[in-house]
Amino acid sequence: SEERSLNFIEEIVEEDIAEGKHGGRVLTRFPPEPNGYLHIGHAKSICLNFGLAKKYNGKTNLRFDDTNPTKEETEYVDSIKEDVKWLGFDWAEELYASDYFDKLYDLAVTLIKKGLAYVDDSTAEEIAAQKGTPTEPGTPNQYRSRSVEENLQLFADMKAGKYQDGDKVLRAKIDLASPNMLLRDPLMYRIKHAHHHRTGDAWCIYPMYDFAHGQSDAIEEITHSICTLEFVSHRPLYDLFIEELEIFPSKQYEFARLNMTYTVMSKRKLMQLVAENHVEGWDDPRMSTISGLRRRGYTAASIREFCDRIGVAKRENMIDFSLLEFCIREDLNKTAWRRMAVLDPIKLIITNYPEGQTETLHGENNPEVEGGDGGRDIPFSNELWIEREDFMEEPPKKFFRLGVGLMVRLKNAYIVKCEDFKKDADGNVTEIYCTYIPESKSGHDTSGINVKGTIHWVSVPHAKTAEVRLYDRLFKVEDPSSEEGDFKEYLNPESLHILPNVYIEPDLANAEQGKGYQFIRKGYFTLDKLSTADKLVFNRTVTLKDGWAV
């Protein structure tokens, strides 16, 4: 893509390299918690972390932030790896915070020995109450003055399983009067008798985010640890633990998370949509997940381009969904093969073309590619399906399609002139009658006739059928999370529209999974993962022009 100015994180990295910090080495990490599928917001973080490493000859680790045993599953680990790879990135190492449980335990012991951590028997409510308020300092309890020896013993007993969930926690001993509430003796470890997806039942104490993330960064010698703005207030704690532990000085930098209109961007909310069957699964084509976008027909290149265009901001903002659509249109315009499909059919009969005769026409695959990117055969006959909307009984001026007396070009075929039509008892048009101009064949047109409109069509005896799924916004409002009540009240009931019997040109039976096709004048489509040779199913990725159906 085109030249752009450095973002603020690139500026920091370039300064660090210029100063020779860490020998000019750049090591970033992408740290998902394996408690759901990745969404487009994660793609932003992936592109940023892997993009920096690529630009500055560095590396990126994929680190699963798996310190919460009750929510994490191997299914999510697998999907995350698949999605990162599909987006086009290779990680240097696949790592798990849970692999550091022994080291993290030892680091906690180090802090206890320095008098900087203590075991607290208070309940969660008591701890919250003792923390004070932003304007009132917290109050120390009797556990805060426990001796190092007692703390070491109690922490070992916690690890050994002597206590029940909630009986005790390990807290950092920092400052109960700090204006930063996160520094008022934050929790480091809690007791949780739960099975972990990797460590099984080896542990019954688990570290909190603030005592796992920075330490994992340091263990891996991450140079630039990039996270979203919610963590700005955690940074003093991040730095303090690293300093007191005298471990590798990783640094945290924060950028604005991606928010996008007409969708939700939180695994918890996406999980609810799946669990309550509002969608067909994590990879439902209406979901903002990477797997959903992939199934919908989005390409990795279009998502990377989108992430590049939105840039890296320091302040929260809301990105219009139509920017993502712009990016996929641009990409598919350059790559998708053009094909014809009739979504809402009406029959057109060419009265001066011999009945039963078939002619093989040719259509290029993509006019945007030099030479047309190859082409395909298209059978033609005297009976065609065209779109109902391409005919009008009483066409207004400037209607450049069909109506009695009007002429139009059939794409890749001939010019036809509408002579007549037939209606049923209810007044619905059932057949349109045309004559064709034999000298007007595309590519060999000697007719001298100029027409303004070109329409798509499919030969009736040669047509194949497919189910076509049209999608609209998943939500009716721009920001469902900020509306009153439950975000699910704002789901768009019209977000999926199934056309069970669409006529497609025969070559579309050869459509391949993962490829985009432009159905001429109707949008970009891709085969759904559930499509079979017996029952073709296409998803509309995006319409050809901006604008929604509802």
Is 526 within 8 Å of 296 (Cβ atoms)?
yes
Q: Which of 307, 301, 342 is nearest to 323 (CA)?
A: 307
Residue 255 Cα to chain centre, angstroms: 18
Count residues contacting Mg ion (CB under 5 A)? 1
Query: Can you give the length of the chain in residues?
Result: 550
Distance CA 59, CA 44 (A): 17
Distance CA 122, CA 137 (A): 18
**296 membership: H or E segment, kind and range:** helix 290-296
Task: Provide, rounded to whole angstroms, the least separation between the CB of residue 198 and Mg ion.
Answer: 17
Task: Provide, rounded to whole angstroms, the least separation between the CB of residue 550 and ligand ATP.
Answer: 26
Is 264 within 8 Å of 56 (Cβ atoms)?
no
Instruction: Establish whether 265 is an annotated binding residue.
Output: yes
**113 membership: H or E segment, kind and range:** helix 101-113
Instruction: Establish whether 35 is an annotated binding residue.
Output: yes
Binding mask 245-264 for ligand ATP (x = CB under 6 A): ------------xx------
Q: What are the backbone angles phi and psi of residue 395, rounded to the nearest 5°?
A: -70, 135
Distance CA 499, CA 59 (A): 47
Q: Does 33 contact ligand ATP by CB under 6 A?
A: yes
Per partner kind, with CB cut-offs from 5 to 8 A, the member of Mg ion, ligand ATP, none near residue 32 is ligand ATP
Instruction: Establish whether 257 is an annotated binding residue.
Output: yes
Instruction: Establish whether 34 is an annotated binding residue.
Output: yes
C-alpha dihedral sign at 172, 173, 174, 180? positive
Q: Which of 330, 279, 301 is nearest to 288 (CA)?
A: 279
**Is there a catalytic annotation at residue 33?**
yes
The amino acid that residue 508 corresponds to is: L
Instruction: Establish whether 21 is an annotated binding residue.
Output: no
The amino acid that residue 168 corresponds to is: K
- Of 480 and 516, nearer to ligand ATP (C-beta) is 480
Q: Does 207 contact ligand ATP by CB under 6 A?
A: no
Token digits of residue 3: 């030249």
Q: Does 473 contact ligand ATP by CB under 6 A?
A: no
Q: Does 44 contact ligand ATP by CB under 6 A?
A: yes
Task: Provide, rounded to whole angstroms, the least separation between the CB of residue 255 and ligand ATP.
Answer: 7
Task: Provide, rounded to whole angstroms, the least separation between the CB of residue 268 and ligand ATP.
Answer: 6
Token digits of residue 178: 């700090």
**Is there a catalytic annotation at residue 521?**
no
Q: Does 265 contact ligand ATP by CB under 6 A?
A: yes
Task: Provide, rounded to whole angstroms, the least separation between the CB of residue 293 and Mg ion.
Answer: 19
Binding residue for ligand ATP, selected from 13, 17, 41, 350, defined by CB under 6 A: 41
Binding residue for ligand ATP, selected from 22, 31, 361, 472, defined by CB under 6 A: 31
**Active-site position among 33, 359, 364, 478:** 33
**Active-site position among 146, 190, 267, 540:** 267
Instruction: Establish whether 258 is an annotated binding residue.
Output: yes
Interface segment toward ligand ATP; rule CB under 6 A; list 25-33, 52-60, 186-194, 196-204: 25-33
Distance CA 316, CA 41 (A): 13
The amino acid that residue 14 corresponds to is: E
Instruction: Establish whether 433 is an annotated binding residue.
Output: no
> Any idea which residue has 């700090």 for tokens?
178
Binding residue for ligand ATP, selected from 28, 32, 222, 353, defined by CB under 6 A: 32
Who contacts 519 (Cβ-Cβ below 8 Å, separation ≥6)? 339, 340, 341, 343, 456, 525, 538
Task: Provide, rounded to whole angstroms, the least separation between the CB of residue 33 and ligand ATP.
Answer: 4
Interface segment toward Mg ion; rule CB under 5 A; list 9-17, 30-38, 282-290, 524-532: 30-38
Task: Provide, rounded to whole angstroms, the least separation between the CB of residue 234 and ligand ATP.
Answer: 11
Q: Does 234 contact ligand ATP by CB under 6 A?
A: no
Is 33 within 8 Å of 79 (Cβ atoms)?
no
Q: Are strands 205-207 and 464-471 parallel, antiparallel or unpaired?
A: unpaired
- Of 178 and 266, nearer to ligand ATP (C-beta) is 266
Q: Which of 158, 157, 118 is nearest to 140 (CA)?
A: 118
**345 membership: H or E segment, kind and range:** strand 345-350
- Of 42 and 173, nearer to ligand ATP (C-beta) is 42
> Any idea which residue has 């001026």 for tokens?
397
**Is there a catalytic annotation at residue 19?**
no
Distance CA 292, CA 294 (A): 5
Count residues contacting ligand ATP (CB under 6 A)? 15
Task: Provide, rounded to whole angstroms, the least separation between the CB of residue 89 and ligand ATP.
Answer: 13
Q: How many CB atoms lie within 10 A of CB 521?
A: 16
Interface segment toward Mg ion; rule CB under 5 A; list 31-39, 233-241, 432-440, 446-454: 31-39
Interface segment toward ligand ATP; rule CB under 6 A; list 38-46, 52-60, 137-145, 172-180: 38-46
- Of 42 and 190, nearer to ligand ATP (C-beta) is 42
Q: What residue ranges bind ligand ATP (CB under 6 A)?
A: 31-33, 41-42, 44-45, 65, 227-228, 257-258, 265-267
As annotated, the active-site residues are 33, 257, 267
Which residues contribute to the annotated binding site? 33-35, 39-45, 65, 209, 228, 257-258, 265-267
Q: What residue ranges bind Mg ion (CB under 5 A)?
A: 33
